[in-house]
Structure 1
């Protein structure tokens, strides 16, 4: 079962990236349906258990002195293999075809990726090593026949952020590494509520409210104000081949430790993301993403464009391309934490060592192939995703390889087992 992203377009990208349409992740029903069971027992028997294990490496021939591939979170440690994720998910999906339906999603993840997806006050102090543990998702889900004939999908609890095409779940994105936009210009995780109102088969209205990006409540919120989402998804355009999603987020996101209470609670951050997914043929998909972020408190902004192409050229093979231009206008957004707890210390406003760069326009090109094989006809998969990537400063700065170079070449990838 793919991660709940609440956006139709992301599901399209996940399928085109991994070939999941024919080798979907295994979902094991924990119970069998019985005609003589109570309604609650039959509801409980819809529960499924799924999981995956992922490990990878991002090799850098330049061997940076500090061991960091600058501008990368997931593949940040140069030339070092790592266990990225070991995840288990227990879920009861909702039925969206009729009246009231209720479910839940519980997912825990352990590995190096978890260093960047913590929630303040819940998991950020659980472990301080390179491999850490998080509640990747923990929410109740509902389909409610409200407002329109098609109803509303609601999710409340610990939610993975819906913005952008690159998901925490590695099987739901095309590459091992992330784009700059997917790391620095979209949020990661929330405590709150999100809803999709199905106005018509063509139009969905997206909305939500939460405590902030990777924060919770009270002293575990880096300021005292909420944040939220508003957007729209246009589905089934161009004879069902095109989906366009616009999603905006707004609210204070900076820490009172950095700006003081008054400014931290009033300085707004605006995130804006537009994504279009076009199914050219049954085997070729194009995706484009434009993103603009502005932060009043940091007096920082960034704009970017990312293009993707996916070509499933054989039943078990998919070629993927990603090209990106990302402008960090002040040099305050693109940075790397130099300790295992550094990223979340930064979210909390605590002092932490980081590697940063001056204002830079980044260009990045990533090419890869996914080989994905079903382990049995209906249960499980094995996937290998080699990739090559070239990053370069387009305005003459030298942010890469511990500040030595204007460009950086990396290669590697990951392996996944889904069950």
Structure 2
């Protein structure tokens, strides 16, 4: 896939994942320009059409679990949730007109992207595609937005995107070519949003500072009855670029707004209106250091606090809000032009066992977002006031040979992963174990 939320102009955040993809996994081949003409010097509308590109990608994988969990699920894993079963994760088509001109010029572009596969189950928008499918493989409009560059106020100007947007927070993204592993960290699944309808802005103050802000209807909801409450949410944050002679970049992004369904909050004995005042505070900061030509390291810290996701301790109160914090570290080492070694280590604290879960149904995740009934395996029967601290270590190889000008990207990514409850909560393998070992990976090819 040629486009993600960090590849768009004005919203890029140098992360380990994007570095691996851009420096190693994706050969520098020309994209197909369906509207290109021989009149390369033409102006006006025909010239604007000549920059439109169409790209595609197919990605699929499997994560084997020797313990053969009784429920058939790899606990705490979205993209490879079905143990010992191969999945077609994504078939992607992206039509894009990127804004790549001079920053002093007005520019208008767009992105249209559709994704079919098992990953789509987790990236729907309520009211647009969430009720159209009930199978494991589903179809979503992953991106559909207008991109405008405005040469205002500073030399870098202001970039704006309006429409269906992939959420910009965090290190790992949906695009498999822009992350180092097939599976995702707990942080990337439970503590960052996925998809929005709204507007995002990035103001390039100078060569060092970018300011990000935006407003939307909420995480994976739209308007009216398709919003799980009746209030918007929004982002604010800052990027620090070109530090240490261009080797270091720091990205901080925060988000605030109500995210809980009215029906869920009301189910705990509150009026539905409380969901509009029960704010969720998302905070993520990550820093990437390019140590040398081969070695890159990234550290991410995330903290989430939710005033509306509450759980009773016992048959009646008191009530506590949900909290989760995490630290994730990444390392990428380029072994050769076609081989990259990747490491990820994570500690994720779910204070009330309200964040990490496995949704045991093809539509359960989106039903939970919308406030409808859903099935889930959450904490293995452990007391909710105990909480769980998860540890996760993943090691992998990215083999990405250059197959010629007609193949934009090809990669094989085997990985091994170790998950463990650091406070001995038995949540894995159908509630039998306090740890889980999985191995597998994915393969991708794109034009």
Match of 2:100 among 95, 103, 106: 95
Supply the distance in 1 between the matched residues of 2:356 and 2:16 (Cα, whole angstroms).
Answer: 28
Gaps of 5+ in 1: none
Partner of 2:419: 391
- The farther-off stretch of 139-148 and 90-99 is 90-99
Partner of 1:265: 276
Supply the distance in 1 between the matched residues of 2:350 and 2:41 (Cα, whole angstroms).
Answer: 61
5 Å-filtered alignment, 1:202-351, equals 202-260=208-266, 261-298=272-309, 299-351=321-373
Match of 1:363 among 391, 401, 425: 391
Match of 1:412 among 417, 437, 440: 440
Partner of 2:47: 42
Give the CA deviation at 1:20.
4.0
- The farther-off stretch of 93-102 and 11-20 is 11-20
Supply the distance in 1 between the matched residues of 2:200 and 2:98 (Cα, whole angstroms).
Answer: 16
The aligned length equals 419
Supply the distance in 2 between the matched residues of 1:249 and 1:272 (Cα, whole angstroms).
Answer: 6
Give the CA deviation at 1:242.
0.1
CA RMSD of aligned residues (A): 1.5
Deviations 1:218-267 (A, max 9, x none): 00000000000000000000110000000000000000111132111110
Is residue 32 of structure 1 aligned with residue 36 of structure 2? Answer: yes
Supply the distance in 2 between the matched residues of 1:313 and 1:124 (Cα, whole angstroms).
Answer: 42
Deviations 1:170-219 (A, max 9, x none): 00000000000000000000000001100000000000100000000000
Partner of 1:117: 123
Deviations 1:134-173 (A, max 9, x none): 0010000011011212101110100000001111110000
Give the CA deviation at 1:31.
2.6
Supply the distance in 1 between the matched residues of 2:175 and 2:117 (Cα, whole angstroms).
Answer: 12
SS in 1 for 2:62: strand
Is residue 353 of structure 1 aligned with residue 375 of structure 2? Answer: yes
Give the CA deviation at 1:4.
3.2
Match of 2:77 among 72, 76, 81: 72
- The farther-off stretch of 207-216 and 141-150 is 141-150
Match of 1:169 among 175, 190, 200: 175
Give the CA deviation at 1:37.
3.9
SS in 2 for 1:223: coil
Gaps of 5+ in 2: 267-271, 310-320
Supply the distance in 1 between the matched residues of 2:257 and 2:418 (Cα, whole angstroms).
Answer: 34
Give the CA deviation at 1:62.
0.3
TM-score, normalization by structure 2: 0.91
Supply the distance in 1 between the matched residues of 2:284 and 2:353 (Cα, whole angstroms).
Answer: 20
Partner of 1:184: 190
Contact conserved, 1:370 with 1:385, CA < 8 A, in 2? yes
Contact conserved, 2:3 with 2:94, CA < 8 A, in 1? no
Contact conserved, 1:26 with 1:50, CA < 8 A, in 2? no
Give the CA deviation at 1:382.
1.5
